Every structure is written in structure tokens, then in C-alpha cells.
Structure 1
């Protein structure tokens, strides 16, 4: 968990299929493999070790709208387990920056829209705070990688081949070198990889 200091680290977090996709050919609403992975107890514990260190979340419009459509209800459901509720409470309370050229307003508390990804992220990194977490938005993570703004890559590789869809690591990304900081093997066969620039 990072201290509250200026010069914050930007952590990009996502889950990938074994063949390198963040969602399959039919889109995220059909990604049962991703849902099954995300709801595993070990996945929740692993992701908790990441989000607890952050006080700003970066999202693309699609993920923002998808998260907002389900998380407030999950958080307030009495049947929700404590760990999932804690994540929902964090999502409610954390500063959320949504990058979009079409979205003009946000309804989720503590959220705002920006159409200037590089400028906004550079200002956030220079400000006082803890980690900045880019959550599972492939287009946002790609743009941050192109701009050289990612300090940590946190990738969970799920043992599923989906055969197409949305790739995280596309051919137009610039060359970069990363150093392995940690690996975590989860009980259902996924592997958490933590790389640092």
C-alpha cells in the first residue's frame, strides 16, 4: 500500500485470457470466463491487495457505465459478502476520472469526466495522493502505455482461450521493458503478474 506522497505511481490492472484478450468476440456482456474469474474468492483477495493502495480510479466510458449499472446495487445488497461490499464501498468513495469524448455528465459520486487523458494523468501523478489505478479499460491502458505513464502493470492471466475480441497489447504500442516484481498463483489456475517499469 502506497503512502500519501507526491509522485504517485500509476498502476494498470486488467484480466486477460490466455490468448491475450480483455474481452471475447461477443463483448464483455458475454464474457462468462471473466465473470467466473472475477468472483473467485482468491481473485477478490488478490484484487483487494491492489485497490486498497489507490485513492484515484481511471476508467473509460464503457467500463464506467458498466460499473455504475451494477456496483451500487451489489454494495447495498444485504446478501453481498464483506469483501465484495468493501470493494463496492471503495468504488463509491474513490475519486473516479472517466475519460470520454462523448460523456458529459456523471451520476456516480466522486466522479468527473475528462477528455484530456495525458494532461489529467500527469497532473494526478504530480499531486499528493496514493496510487492511481487504471481499472480494466483496455483503450485507456493502451493510451497510457503509449504516453509512457504506466509505472506498474498488474495482469491476471485466466486459463481460457477466447479466440478473438479486444486485445490489450496491440501492434501499435511502443517498445518498453518491464521487470517482474511478483507472481501470484490463484487456486482456479489464474496467474497474477506484477511488472514494474
Structure 2
């Protein structure tokens, strides 16, 4: 069975919205972490807002390793309206998101990534269909914005790895083991 992996850039206070406002440096360790995450993924689930923003930016970007990955990978977009931007390998999710991802997990293939889409990550974490949570925590307090873990039920996580990058970013990888009793 495929794994669903949520990869998010967050501030120290858990804000995931607008990471460009608190991610002002990027180093080789963070790059290597991202490369290891995307190396196993052959599908990505995005929310409508992330899709619209990314479809304007990534097709002409040369920021590697992500540009090549995101432009070539199959992208499923959680939306109830037709996609207005033309981006290779993008398809609107037909039907309910959680059921779609559960079905996708049963199909052959690599990991299913969830990148940048806070509401999608929250819905899938709440439904119990996320297997791994991989975070890059910036050494900044955003002090405002949507937080990744707000509104979730209590979850049990098992630490898989942690690493501190030279510029102070904390790379945290967790396995989601279930809900707290």
C-alpha cells in the first residue's frame, strides 16, 4: 500500500500559511531533505488555492530539485470547479477527497505527497489517511496566519528522524500512528 506523506514548511509557532514570509534562507541540508521526500513520490494532492498559485510559478521556475519534480508529477487537485490554469499532469479530484486518497493509496505506485495545501493536509490528517508528517520548522515566529495543526483531533506520532540544518531549520519526520485515546 502506498503512503500519504504531508510535507510542510512551518514557523516555530506552527504557521504554514505564506512560508515565504518566514523562510528567508535555504541550505543544502534542507535541499537534501526535500529531495529525499520527493524521490519516493509519484503523485501529489493539492488544494485549489495552492494549485492556482503554483501553476503560475512552477512551470517556468528553475528552482531545483522541486521544479522538475512538481512539473512532471501527477497532480490531483481538490476542487469542485474546473481547473482554470493549464499545468501538465494536473487533474481535478472527482468526488470526495478523503475517499479519493484512500482509493489512490490502494493503487500501485509510489508515495502520495501533500505539499503546501493546509486544508488538504488537515482533512487527510483528521480522516486518518496520512502515514507520515515531514516538517521543516523555521527558526522564526510568524505570529499570525493559518496553523497546520489547528482543529485536528489528538494524534499520536512516532519520531522517525530529526536534524538541524546549518541555517537553523529543524527537519522533523514523524510517522502517524493513530489517534490519542
- How does the TM-score come out when normalised to structure 1? 0.83
- Aligned residue number for residue 59 of structure 2: 72
- Aligned residue number for residue 146 of structure 1: 126
- Aligned residue number for residue 115 of structure 2: 135
The answer to whether the 8 Å contact 2:8/2:134 transfers is: yes
The answer to whether the 8 Å contact 2:52/2:85 transfers is: no
Which sections of structure 1, spanning at least 5 residues, go unmatched? Answer: 1-6, 76-83
- Out of 5, 10, 20, the residue aligned to residue 11 of structure 1 is 5
Matches within 5 A, 1:12-51: 12-23=6-17, 28=18, 31-34=20-23, 36-37=24-25, 39-51=26-38
The C-alpha deviation readout for 1:10-64, integer Å capped at 9, x for no partner, is 00010110111012xxxx2x83323x24x43332221011011100011111111
- Out of 164, 168, 172, the residue aligned to residue 189 of structure 1 is 168
Helix, strand or coil at the partner of 1:144: helix
Question: Which structure is higher in helix share?
Answer: 1
Q: Does 1:87 align with 2:63?
A: no
- Aligned residue number for residue 98 of structure 1: 77
- How does the TM-score come out when normalised to structure 2? 0.90
Cα RMSD after superposing both structures: 1.6
The answer to whether the 8 Å contact 1:61/1:103 transfers is: no
The answer to whether the 8 Å contact 2:27/2:165 transfers is: no
